[in-house]
Amino acid sequence: MSARSLALLAALSVSVLTVPPAAAAGAKILTLLSSSDAEAQAFSLILANEARGAGHAVDLVLCGPAGDIALKVAPAAATRPVTPTGMSVRALLEKLISQGSKVELCAIYLPNRQLKPDAIIEGVSVGKPAEVAARMADPAVKVVSP
């Protein structure tokens, strides 16, 4: 092998070894969901699940009416099947959680409804504004707010 080939191989090896883990694993996506519409919620969750299934890191922050789908006692619209998937919004949320996505309620959701954290399902936490804002400002994170 020539000296030039060895140098090129060495350069390629270094570039492969220095690829950040996040870039190697796929995109980082933060979805902010606040819609009260079950179809809009389902659409966002279907896309989030697809992205997660494709190997992308997907975090979800629920606020406003969308936060209701994370309640232990969810509204009927959250548990009604949505076509064409036949899954409910709640089932889509639970699937996203089971795939390892971080799911949070916005910090103002529970206090404005006079609820405690024990009112939400397992796998959902209360987001900290500074941490969510830091993710939003991270240029490596794609923020989606359908």
Read off the pLDDT of residues 108-123 as tens digits, 9 standing for 90 and up: 999 999 999 999 999 9
32-90 tens-digit pLDDT: 999 999 999 999 999 999 999 999 999 999 999 999 999 999 999 899 998 777 899 99
22-144 has which fold? Hypothetical Protein Ychn; Chain: A, (3.40.1260)
Q: Which residues pair with 32 in a beta bridge?
A: 61
Ranges of each domain in the chain: 22-144
d(CA 57, CA 48): 9
- What's the pLDDT at 1? 45
Q: Are 79 and 100 in contact (CB under 8 A)?
A: no
pTM value is 0.81
What type of residue is 45?
L
Distances from the Cα of 132 to the Cα of 30, 100, 105, 135, angstroms: 9, 17, 11, 5
Unique residue bearing structure tokens 């099947």? 81
> Rg of the chain over CA atoms, in angstroms?
19
